[in-house]
A and B are shown apart, each in its own frame.
Chain A
Amino acid sequence: MVKDSLLQKEYELGFTYTRSTGPVVGKFLTGLKNRQIFGNRATDGRVIVPPMEYDPETFQPLNDFVQVSDAGVIESWCWVSKPRSSHPSAVPFAWAMIKLDGADISMIHHIVTNEQNRVVTGARVKALWIDQPVGFISDIRCFVLEED
């Protein structure tokens, strides 16, 4: 048998899903479109951000929405020095768990700064919004460090 040289081909498989948000995630995304961040109050009184559809302890539907601040505190973080194409930032950034003022649960987002040494647990950050929010998590372009 003749051994032909290996044939290779790049191709892309795309699943172009549109997903329904449901009323709770919809409320969160609608808030983002208006540069507002909503959580909701769990049965034990904690404010959860992003809002949850059901209480993690009692499994009751949660509807008591609470607006929280778009600024908060870094609870934990991980520096990404070489971002990949699917990352939200082309320049080095930090994934971070951020507890927004008024929330009891931290939310994951990313922080962009050229002062890597200031990214520490406990540091304050605030949302940097895009110019024309569309109702998506990337309406928050990133979080940035608040000035000292």
Chain B
Amino acid sequence: MDNKNKEVIDAIEAPIYLKYNFTAGLAPARFLSQLKQGVLTGQRCPKCDNVYVPPRGSCPACGVATEEEVVLGDKATVQSFTIVSIPIPGNPIQPPYIVANLVPDGANISFIHLMSECVNEEVRIGQRVTAIWKPKEEWDFAMDNIRYFKPLDEPDVPAELIGHLSVNGTEN
């Protein structure tokens, strides 16, 4: 917007910029360091056995610290998803694309990531997917080391079992 050529001012640019210095705590720092090595990890609650990814260092249900690290595989299950059709300023991804809540095998909660190499209209809850990683030399302390998840040719997981698979993809 440019008010220079306007005779009557009816709008102004009023941006707000918030500068942060984010410090990852112990659990996220450990998680990100493992990601840099190409490994997806969670942490298990010593009380209820739930595995959290990304780990925050404690179990919100039990209120206890989680310290046991669990190495997760690349395979995951779609817990929910949305098809994004509206471009977001600053986001280089062109719509339509899929954002999904994915539960990695061996974990009990989902994280959000992208799906690609899929037919958007055929994405469904319970669908099996696998991580597509960037080339190793591009790995950083970042979740987008995984470029996206793509569908696997495996039977869907029944809704009641989503979030309850062992790390090798079998029913717990």
Interface set of A (CB-CB < 8 Å, partner B):
1-21, 26, 29-30, 33, 132, 134-136
Q: Can you name the residue of chain A whose Cβ is closest to the Cβ of B141?
A: A7
B1 touches A13 (CB 8 A): no
Residues of B contacting A33 in the complex (Cβ-Cβ under 8 angstroms)? 3, 9
A26 partner, pick from B10, B19, B69, beta carbons under 8 A:
B10
List CB contacts (< 8 Å) of B1-20 with chain A.
Answer: 1, 3-4, 6-20
Question: Contacts A7-B29, A18-B11, A26-B8: A136 and B3 contacting too (C-beta < 8 A)?
Answer: yes
Q: Are B15 and A16 in contact (CB under 8 A)?
A: yes
- A30 — which chain B residues lie within 8 A by C-beta? 7-9
* Inter-subunit contact A21/B29 (CB<8 Å): no
- When distances are taken between beta carbons in the complex, the residues of chain A under 8 Å from B14 are 17-19
Whether B53 sits at the interface, judged by CB under 8 Å, is no
Separation in Å of the A10 CB from the closest CB of chain B? 5
A87 → B minimal CB distance (Å):
15
The answer to whether B24 and A7 have CB atoms under 8 Å apart is: yes
| B16 in complex: contacting residue of A15, A20, A135, CB < 8 Å | A15
Interchain CA distance A12-B1 in the complex, whole Å? 22
CB closest residue in chain B, given A86: B17
Point out which of A4, A5, A10, A17 has the most chain B C-beta atoms below 10 A from its C-beta: A4
Apart from A11-B20, A135-B12, list 8 A-B contacts with CB within 8 A.
Answer: A5-B29, A7-B32, A8-B24, A15-B17, A17-B16, A18-B14, A19-B14, A21-B9
Interface of B is mostly: mixed
Does the CB pair B67–A1 fall under 8 Å? Answer: yes
A-B interface, 4 closest residue pairs, ranked by CB to CB distance from nearest: A135-B9, A29-B9, A7-B24, A13-B18
Contact A1 B21 (CB under 8 A): no
Report A-chain residues with C-beta under 8 Å of the C-beta of B141. Answer: 7
Chain B residues with CB under 8 Å of A29's CB are 3, 9, 12
Chain B 35-67, CB-CB to A under 8 Å as 1, else 0, gives: 000000000000000000000000000000001
Given the known A-B contacts A18-B1, A26-B10, A30-B8, are A13 and B15 also in contact in the complex, defined by CB atoms under 8 Å?
A: no
Distance in Å from the Cβ of B56 to the closest Cβ of chain A?
A: 14
* 21 A-B pairs whose Cβ atoms sit less than 8 Å apart in the complex: A1-B30, A2-B30, A3-B26, A7-B141, A8-B22, A10-B22, A12-B17, A12-B20, A13-B17, A14-B15, A15-B16, A16-B13, A16-B89, A17-B14, A20-B11, A26-B9, A33-B3, A135-B6, A135-B12, A136-B3, A136-B12
Nearest CB of B to A22, in Å = 8
Which residue in chain A gives the minimum CB-CB distance to B20? A11
| Chain A residues in 8 Å Cβ range of B7 | 30
B74 → chain A, closest Cβ, in Å? 22
Q: Shortest Cβ distance from A19 into chain B, in angstroms?
A: 5
